[in-house]
Amino acid sequence: MDKEDLFLHTYFTHLSQISYDKAKEHVEKEKEIYKGAQLSLWGTFLNFLHHLILTEKSYIELGFLQTKNKSFLRKDNSLRSIYESLRSDLRKLEDNCKSTVTDRRVQHYCQNIYQFLNARINMIDLYERIYTMGLNNQFMYADMLKYVQNIIEKHSLDFTDISLTPVKATFGLEIEILEQLFKALTELQRLQFLPSLALIHGAHTRLALWESKIPNRENWKISFLKNNPLPALFQWLQKLKGSVLSKFSLYFHDTLAQQTTPTDMRHLCAKLHHDHYQKMVSFHRKYEAACVILLSDNQVSCDTTDYDSFPIIVSYPPRSPPQLDTILKMISETTDELAIVDKIIYKFSSQSQCTYILTTVEPNIYLVVLFESKKSEKDAFIGNFVTEICTNLRQKMPSVTLKDVDQHKFVKAFAQFLKKTGKLRVPEWVDLVKTSRAKELAPYDPDWYYTRCAAVVRHIYMRSPIGVGSVTKIFGTRKRNGTKPSHFCRSAGSIARKVLQSLEGLKLIEKTPTGGRELTQQGRRDLDRIAAQVKAKERKALKSAAAVIAL
């Protein structure tokens, strides 16, 4: 191996092992050797490698999700645009190559790294598709699998130079993990036991192999900081595998339970990412539901000879309910309504005095909750259970959401963001008005209106739809009445109305047909993006603290 090949191989080995500081030191040492030739082609190439380190670090920390869809910013500083900029820099560098031996070698390196950058851009496109699929509650696993296989085929013969072997190996593991998991999801939709099991095991094996390539660090062992040392992208792939395995354990719970004792089965399921079956059991016992059923509509391709229980996938209590024919009839009658994702249908039968709650988990697979009493949408515990279990059964990208960060930190960060953009319409009277009849003075904080907007939009994210009345109640307080007892007093309705109108002007929220406001898709993306930035700052602070303690 030539000197330049050895240098580049070591550099990409550090990149593949997530050792970005070592890669930076490696490049700096090479720069010191060629200190007098900074303007040469090799010196320019070393500068490019330095920029590539920062970009790769952002990629492995899911930077392409934290900077996407920046609706308020003019400049496109997404990770994809940075990779495209690096790609154009490589082209310029390649065009400046001359006929010398060193220049031809640099030209060869540029061609291989250019192919590597193309692969990274395609992977960013893939992750953004997965992100959008989860955001829109779509379940196009077959389409995602086809896209993954196209990437594998497209780049199978790319960046094959010996110096890029380490990143070629990690890229192969990353894309193969996604291929195995999406294949498993398509097989789970068809209720295929052995193919799903083999594919999940294949993804697990590749994840373990990738993790073995990441060297241990002493400062990672500081447990009280509670900081996962693995990069965000790897953690998400682990969570995706865990979610698929949890889904597998629910769909084939009865089959798996026959292979062990009930106690061992409970202990094994408790270790999973989501213990769906135990949630069904707990809900049944706590709220006295007649049964909780996951079933198909006979349109899936299921290899089974147990036609007595078909089409029930799993049920608690583990028996076929006498109302099964009624349930199947209701599903056939409400096909159009069930096609709406997240739609929860409540049906009350006056004859049997039973309430049927139906929703779609994914195409042709439905969750049904049966009560032998009258229930309605006002019973929030039913909607919360159905929404939670359906959300956990649907694999999403999403990285960090607003629910993953501290509310005070998020409100502060989003208020600063609203002020920085300068696009929020702020009433002229904000420095004069009281926020409630219970208050004696106007707020001391000159930026209180931005904080109020951030708090309201966060509440809409968590519980929507809400209207002016809800906002006045949320921000209400106790009013002092001298010697008389204090009483609750709502906040000013005019302020609540102006806050909602300001957020509507930014297209973060919109009116619903039934009244109130809810988040727009753009609003949800922006809030999740700011939440991801807050989480990234926390992670960076923890790493800095770990480094200081390690010293």
Q: What is the pLDDT of residue 342?
A: 77
Architecture of the domain defined by 402-550? Orthogonal Bundle (1.10)
Q: What is the pLDDT of residue 137?
A: 65
Q: Identify the CA nearest to 127 among candidates 349, 535, 399.
A: 399
380: Cβ–Cβ under 8 A, 6 or more apart, which residues?
none
Q: What is the pLDDT of residue 335?
A: 84
**Where residue 53 falls among pLDDT bands split at 50, 70, 90?**
very high
On the question of pLDDT at 281 being above 80, the answer is: yes
Q: What is the pLDDT of residue 65?
A: 67
Percentage of the residues of the chain whose pLDDT score is greater than 90: 35
Q: What single letter denotes the amino acid at residue 239?
A: K
CA dist list (Å): 263 to 247, 253, 268, 472, 514 = 20, 14, 9, 50, 47
On the question of pLDDT at 71 being above 60, the answer is: no
- Domain at 252-393: CATH code: 3.30.450.240
Average pLDDT over residues 396-423: 82
Q: What is the pLDDT of residue 72?
A: 37
Average pLDDT over residues 197-221: 82
On the question of pLDDT at 293 being above 50, the answer is: yes
On the question of pLDDT at 292 being above 80, the answer is: yes
Q: What is the pLDDT of residue 68?
A: 44
**Where residue 26 falls among pLDDT bands split at 50, 70, 90?**
very high
Q: How far apart are CA 79 and CA 345, in angstroms?
A: 41
On the question of pLDDT at 179 being above 90, the answer is: yes
pLDDT digit string, tens, across residues 322-372: 888 888 888 888 888 888 877 889 998 888 889 999 999 888 889 999 999
Question: Domain coordinates of the chain in residue numbers?
Answer: 3-182+192-227, 252-393, 402-550
Q: What is the pLDDT of residue 75?
A: 45
pLDDT digit string, tens, across residues 230-263: 888 898 899 899 999 999 999 999 999 999 898 9
188-214 b/e with 16+ CB inside 10 Å = b?
bbebbbeebbebbebbbebbeebeeeb
321 or 311, which is more confident?
Answer: 321
Six token digits for residue 248: 């597998």
The pTM is what? 0.74
On the question of pLDDT at 550 being above 60, the answer is: no
Mean model confidence pLDDT for the chain: 84
- The answer to whether 243 and 274 are in contact (CB under 8 A) is yes
Burial of 156 (0-12, 13-18, 19+ CB in 10 A): exposed
Average pLDDT over residues 178-183: 95
Per CATH, 252-393 and 402-550 having the same topology is answered: no
